[in-house]
Amino acid sequence: MWIWSVKLALILCVIALVKSQSNHIIELYDGNSGFGSSVLIDGYVENLSEIGFNDVTTSLCIVQGIWLLYENANFNINAPGASGFNWGINFCQDLPPLLNNRVTSVRYAGSAWGFQEDALIIYENDWFQSREMYAAADFPSLGRFSYGGSLIVTGQSAWTLYVYL
């Protein structure tokens, strides 16, 4: 059993390294309709204040990918808050009132190599909030993790989830 734990830890470490840069790209704007100052993001940003863009986003343009936006730092891990998602290629929109000028963290969903690659991402809480588990192939067990508030499936493969081993 410890071998699976070691494999899981190694897989998660590799994914953590890869998730720092991806082919997912989003541009956040401080003005409506994709105007104003902007910041281009291609990886996880736990706190937009670190790059001087906290609580100013009013619109976005997704170059490509599936993007999740959160009201609080660290993807709402420490405090529940508003969240939203957008996906596509060359897609722009103004943010809804719930997130307008309130986005503090962002991350993408799916494989770092492409948002249409096979992947299963299970989030700890509803609306893709808090911690995540990522799988791109069979996973024998989630172990002691208690995830299951929401999930995103990408790609064309079928997935089957079981409650018990």
What is the chain's pLDDT, residue by residue, as a tens digit (165 residues)?
433 333 333 344 344 444 445 789 999 999 999 899 999 999 999 999 999 999 999 999 999 999 999 999 999 999 989 999 999 999 999 999 999 999 999 999 998 888 789 998 889 888 889 888 888 888 777 666 666 788 889 999 888 877 776
Antiparallel, parallel or unpaired: β 119-125 and 129-135: antiparallel
- Position 20 scores a pLDDT of 47
Question: Is 145 inside a domain boundary?
Answer: yes
Question: Is 160 inside a domain boundary?
Answer: no
Domain interval for residue 120: 2-154
Distance between first and last Cα of the chain: 13
Q: Looking at the 3D structure of the chain, how many domains does it have?
A: 1
Contacts of 154 (CB under 8 A, 6+ apart): 66, 109, 110, 111, 115, 116, 117, 118, 119, 121
Closest by CA position to 68, among listed 36, 115, 32: 115
Question: Is 161 inside a domain boundary?
Answer: no
Question: Is 83 inside a domain boundary?
Answer: yes
Closest by CA position to 70, among listed 112, 20, 129: 129
Question: Is 162 inside a domain boundary?
Answer: no
Question: Is 8 inside a domain boundary?
Answer: yes
Q: In this structure, are residues 85 and 98 in contact, taking their beta carbons and an 8 Å threshold?
A: no
- Position 18 scores a pLDDT of 43
Length of the chain: 165
Residue 112 sits in a domain of what CATH number? 2.60.20.10
